[in-house]
Amino acid sequence: MSMRQPGITNFAGQRVWVIGATSGIGEACAKALITAGAKVAVSGRRLDRLIALCSLGQVDQCLSLPLDVTATEQIDQAYQDIVRHWHGLDLLLFVSGIYIPLRADNFTFELAEQTINANVLGPMHAVAVVLPEMLHQQAGHIAIVGSVAGYSGLPKALAYGPSKAAMINFCEALFYDVQPRGLSVHMISPGFVATPATAQNDFVMPALISPEQAAHEILAGIQQGQFDIHFPKRFSGFLKFLRLLPYPIYFWILRRFVKI
């Protein structure tokens, strides 16, 4: 099966929905897309940040659609608003997510459930909303921002890691189904990015990059039609290598080099 899929060579005029646009990577992506001339619908929980984003674009270039990704009716309503204004969508870019550092001594079901609702069921519902029309048109792009934490079990990620592993599996299964039907899937796995979420970390984060650098990598990968968009390569490539090792070696490396 070929891994080739269409990219978006020019974002100008493309109808894009960025979910999770009020901070960090999502906000940086939205700004870059607006600058590139895309029609951008921005979603997140903070209306003031959405309005500020829309002020960067031309008249009628941007839609402000506040929502909570765990509220399914709000996702449904936002998509209906996009269709009413633009008659369709070219790219769903799902960036929203939460990170709650969890180890065995502070692990609770309630925090795990909160993480899974936002990081797994949220993007799944957004995809379910946009997928029927994209399949009908045999065109469209679905991009989901996960994390290299989904590659294998890491410290402080008892719920976050599994949620991102689920998204890797989801993107792989989705690609298998929709790529032969003209759709593109982009599985995005950033390393450490300087965002409000990673500001919680009390350890040195290797290969830390800015949200603007992350946005550049994401949009470049979508333009090129890449399925597996991971960065920065010096870090994400190392973690890809770790997941291939036998468990005794894997856990020895973690305990030797990860001081958390």
Report whether pLDDT(243) > 80: yes
Q: Which pLDDT score, from 0 to 100, does residue 1 have?
A: 58
220, 33 contact by CB (below 8 A): no
HSE of 188, CA atoms in CB hemisphere, 13 A: 30
Nearest partner of 125 among 173, 77, 62, 194, judged by Cα? 77
Q: Which pLDDT score, from 0 to 100, does residue 68 have?
A: 96
157, 198 contact by CB (below 8 A): no
Report whether pLDDT(201) > 70: no
The structural domains of the chain, ordered by start, are 15-257 (3.40.50.720)
Report whether pLDDT(196) > 90: no
User: How does DSSP classify residue 174?
Assistant: H
pLDDT average, residue stretch 62-74: 97
Structure-block tokens of residue 151: 């590659």
Which band of pLDDT confidence, cut at 50, 70 and 90, is reported for residue 245?
very high
For residue 73, count CB atoms less than 10 angstroms from its CB and return exposed for 0-12, middle for 13-18, buried for 19 or more.
exposed
Report whether pLDDT(88) > 80: yes
pLDDT average, residue stretch 233-259: 91
Which band of pLDDT confidence, cut at 50, 70 and 90, is reported for residue 80?
very high
For residue 151, count CB atoms less than 10 angstroms from its CB and return exposed for 0-12, middle for 13-18, buried for 19 or more.
buried
C-alpha 97, offset from chain centre: 8
For residue 19, count CB atoms less than 10 angstroms from its CB and return exposed for 0-12, middle for 13-18, buried for 19 or more.
buried
Structure-block tokens of residue 63: 């839609």
84, 61 contact by CB (below 8 A): no
Alpha-carbon distance of 140 to 80, in angstroms, equals: 17
Q: Which pLDDT score, from 0 to 100, does residue 256 have?
A: 86
pTM to 2 decimal places: 0.95
Q: Which pLDDT score, from 0 to 100, does residue 252 have?
A: 94
For residue 194, count CB atoms less than 10 angstroms from its CB and return exposed for 0-12, middle for 13-18, buried for 19 or more.
middle
Structure-block tokens of residue 106: 């502070």
9, 32 contact by CB (below 8 A): no
The rounded mean pLDDT for the chain is 94
Alpha-carbon distance of 152 to 156, in angstroms, equals: 12
Alpha-carbon distance of 155 to 187, in angstroms, equals: 23
pLDDT over 90, % of the chain: 88
